[in-house]
Chains A and B, each alone.
Chain A
Amino acid sequence: MRGRRVWLLSVSLADLLFLYLPIGVLILFSFNASRLSATWQGFTFQWYRALAADEALMASLQNSLLVASVSTMIATVLGMSAAVSLERFQFRRQQVVEGAMLLPLVMPEVMMGVALMLFFVTIKLPLSLVTVTLGHAAFNLPVVMVMVRARLRKLDPGLEEAARDLGATPWQAFQRVTLPLLMPAMIGAALMAFTISFDDFIVTFFTAGPGSTTLPLRVYSMVRSGVSPVINALSAMLVVMSMALIGLSLLLQRTGSMKN
């Protein structure tokens, strides 16, 4: 018995090590004074300073923030309305619509990327931050829908019904009762969508045009030019940021479920 427990534990810890090693290494070596070598040669902030001075990088950061914000807003509004439609109403061919809305989640990104590129070329819409945003909103819509719907399912529809019995219109009932309860989940979903959009590479790669280099695209061309501690510093910052955003998203979801 004990032997097996120990074995399970060691494999699990080994797995965790495997998962965290690369990230840990990146963060650690972003402070390494040596440029290429894997041996420790002193602690420094110089790579972070170089990052701040990199104008093209800052511009790409701006682009990423812009695209993520706008596409998240669109995806949240649309995703929410889809979640409410599927959960609180009935209509014919509901299964089909459900399946259709889940499809983007399993579609390989390279396919979405090339499909969108072909689409924009065919309708003669020039590639730009606009096309990137349209694509991001499309693949984030199902993400928001799934997350909001999961929360919606656990809410008591009786609360809304009670509000209606008391004279509220369906919209008022929704706005005053369900929506506040849904808020943490909505914000959580929005944060998740924001992170996904911010980190997206493949779809952006195919739909970006002049001046629409986002941060991941810039990272990609930096990485293609070789390994460098500046990339380590950038990666470390991206990791910390992602973890913070997702931590926040989860915290909000947990708060939401505790309130209920």
Chain B
Amino acid sequence: MTPSDSSTDMPRRAPLPRLPGWLLMPSLAWLGIFFFIPLLLVLVISFAARGTYGGVEWTFSLANYATLLDPLYLTIFVRSLALALGTTAFCLLLGFPLAYYIARAPLRWQGIWLLLVMIPFWTNFLVRTYAWMFILRTEGLMNTVLMNLGLVASPVEILYTDGAILIGLVYGYLPFMVLPLYAALARLDYSLVEAAWDLYASAWNVFWRVILPLTKPGVIAGCILVFIPSLGAFITPDLLGGARTMMLGNLIQHEYLVVRDWPFGSAISFVLMALVLLGMMVYLEVDRGRGDGRRPSVW
């Protein structure tokens, strides 16, 4: 992945021609039919009711959304938000030093570092989650090593807990944090940082008062890119959580494929989608607020 930079874009020399209909129509139609209409269907069904053994009874009511206000479900939302926030925080903690190091590395090494960060991400997600199951189980690698080193007396039971889910999520989304952070840090005017050092600022102050404010858009981009997918995470809580914990993703799957209450599942899906869209709007606002009207830097 080459460092993104829009300065090599070719300048436009003539006004663009009008679009011939047939060029865009097929792709729009495909997305219309297989993306937007299904989503619309979800919205419509969220107002219906469930048949005795599953299926849909076509009535109209807000009952499903009202049920979501039940403390039980609000707890699930809060838990998912908390887990997503925790994932984001850890990704930021682990990712910032890494992104900073890469941004300050010699140019030809930067590409290699970025590649190294992305490669694990391109392997199968299930495989990576399974790898953590293998490592974290009671007789897994982690416990074997810890016990052989004498660091613990009996195995650490971390698999099938929230801790394991957190590890899995951080692992899965770390690259999503590193890339936007890197993009922002690469654009940083380092002379400002040097000036701060020259003025005898402490390391903490340099970070908190100089680096962080200047890279805020990148930080926010990274946070959104980690936060949104973690909210909808489904495999990680399922496999690493042992069917004991439920995040929004699991709840949706549970309602659709186990309880078979499609209308209710759709209501939950729609709320999730609303959160996603909210996150997107925040991201776009922040990005636009950079003032130069350039497109989101991640692409």
Touch between A and B in complex, CB under 8 Å? Answer: yes
- Identify the A interface with B (CB < 8 A): 4, 7-9, 11-12, 15-16, 18-23, 25-26, 29, 36-39, 74, 77-79, 81-82, 84-86, 88-91, 97, 100-101, 103-104, 106-112, 114-119, 122, 134-135, 137-139, 141-142, 145-146, 150, 153-158, 161, 170, 195, 199, 201-202, 206, 216, 219-220, 223-224, 227, 231-232, 235, 238-239, 242-243, 246, 250, 254, 257
Interface centre among B24, B35, B115, B249 (most CB of A within 10 A): B35
Chain-A contact segment, one of B13-21, B59-67, B69-77:
B13-21
Give B225's nearest chain A residue, CB to CB. Answer: A106
A22 lies within 8 A of B131 (CB): yes
- B-chain residues with CB within 8 Å of residue A156 when the two chains form the complex: 10
- B-chain residues with CB within 8 Å of residue A224 when the two chains form the complex: 239
User: Which 6 pairs of residues, A with B, have the shortest CB-CB distance?
Assistant: A108-B232, A22-B131, A115-B38, A119-B38, A89-B19, A138-B34
| 1/0 contact string of B1-39 vs chain A (CB within 8 Å) | 110000011101111111110011011101100111111
- B-chain residues with CB within 8 Å of residue A235 when the two chains form the complex: 124, 127, 130-131
- B-chain residues with CB within 8 Å of residue A153 when the two chains form the complex: 9-10
A223 lies within 8 A of B130 (CB): yes
Task: Name B's interface SS.
Answer: helix
* Given known contacts A18-B94, A25-B135, A119 and B37 CB-to-CB distance under 8 angstroms: yes
* Given known contacts A114-B265, A153-B9, A25 and B131 CB-to-CB distance under 8 angstroms: yes
B132 lies within 8 A of A115 (CB): no
B116 lies within 8 A of A85 (CB): no
CB of A224, distance to nearest CB on chain B (Å): 8
B131 lies within 8 A of A104 (CB): no
CA distance A118 to B256 in the complex (A): 10
- A-chain residues with CB within 8 Å of residue B273 when the two chains form the complex: 107-108, 111
B127 lies within 8 A of A122 (CB): no
A89 lies within 8 A of B132 (CB): no
A19 lies within 8 A of B131 (CB): no
- A-chain residues with CB within 8 Å of residue B232 when the two chains form the complex: 108-111
- Identify the B interface with A (CB < 8 A): 1-2, 8-10, 12-20, 23-24, 26-28, 30-31, 34-39, 41-42, 45, 94-95, 97-98, 100-102, 104, 115-117, 119-120, 122-135, 137, 139-141, 143-144, 171, 174-175, 203, 228-229, 231-232, 234-235, 239, 249, 252-253, 256-257, 262, 265-266, 269, 272-273, 276, 279-280, 299
- A-chain residues with CB within 8 Å of residue B1 when the two chains form the complex: 250
* Given known contacts A118-B45, A216-B124, A216-B126, A22 and B30 CB-to-CB distance under 8 angstroms: no
- CB-contact partner of B98 in A12, A88, A201, under 8 A: A12
A81 lies within 8 A of B174 (CB): no
CA distance A112 to B129 in the complex (A): 21
CA distance A78 to B30 in the complex (A): 8
A97 lies within 8 A of B28 (CB): yes
CA distance A29 to B129 in the complex (A): 16
Give A85's nearest chain B residue, CB to CB. Answer: B24
B27 lies within 8 A of A8 (CB): no
